[in-house]
Amino acid sequence: MPGSSDAPLRLAVLISGNGSNLQAIIDQIANGQLNARVELVISDQPDANGLNRAARAGIATRVIEATKGQKRREYDQRLIETLDPLAPELLVLAGFMRILSPEFVRHFAGRIINIHPSLLPAYKGLNTHQRALDAGERFHGATVHYVTEELDAGDIIIQSRIEIQPDETAAELQQRVHAEEHVIYPRAIGWLRAQLRSDASA
């Protein structure tokens, strides 16, 4: 259900924690840099700070916690049942710390994006900053990519690369990468909006 050419892109954002990337998206929408609307923020963690950020911006929130013994597919089915009525045009994973089932990824095929704190395909998974330092890398950064059934392996949309400083700690590096994330994630969403809208009018 593509929107008209000037309609905001309808987003759903999935979080588990601090939500600084969510905040960057909210801010870019508020200042007119990004023509989008966050229809819903979903968290699997009830105490995620990102829920407060969403509430402050007047965005609807839902907490969907995993229950004991629940299969990944069953959890994801709850996500699908929550998301489908909203018909989001793009699902934005912003620090959502769960792996999504193949069924979920197929259901929203081509409409899920993620931000990962490394220059993919290098350093998939966790602890990316420390691993980049330990390997003596010269460069590190962040990647926005499509989500596919394989973890951190979908097509890359945009990357930001920074040079690692001498004696930089993992915490310092993480902070600088985070600042890059806040630039490239809203930018990627803006690009995808332009692409979706031009496809719709073709």
Q: Does 117 bind ligand GRF (CB under 6 A)?
A: yes
The verdict on whether 116 is a catalytic residue reads yes
Stretch that binds ligand GRF, among 12-20, 66-74, 76-84, 186-194 (CB under 6 A): 12-20
Annotated catalytic residue, options 116, 129, 145, 182: 116
Stretch that binds ligand GRF, among 31-39, 56-64, 111-119, 155-163 (CB under 6 A): 111-119
Give yes or no for a contact between 36 and 9, defined as CB atoms under 8 angstroms apart: yes
Query: What is the maximum span of the chain, computed from C-alpha positions, in angstroms?
Result: 52
The Cβ of residue 134 has, within 10 Å, a number of other Cβ atoms equal to 10
For the chain, the 3-state helix, strand and coil shares in percent, each to the nearest 5, are 40, 20, 40
According to the binding rule CB under 6 A, does residue 17 interact with ligand GRF? yes
Query: Are 124 and 118 a contacting pair, CB within 8 Å?
Result: yes
Least gap, CB of 170 to ligand GRF (angstroms): 12
User: Which amino acid is located at 126 in the chain?
Assistant: L
Confirm if 45 and 17 have CB atoms less than 8 A apart. yes
Stretch that binds ligand GRF, among 18-26, 29-37, 73-81, 193-201 (CB under 6 A): 18-26
Both tokens assigned to 48: 């995620």
Q: Does 141 bind ligand GRF (CB under 6 A)?
A: no
Binding site for ligand GRF (CB under 6 A): 17-21, 50, 94-95, 115-117, 142, 178, 181
Q: Would you name the residues annotated as active-site residues?
A: 116
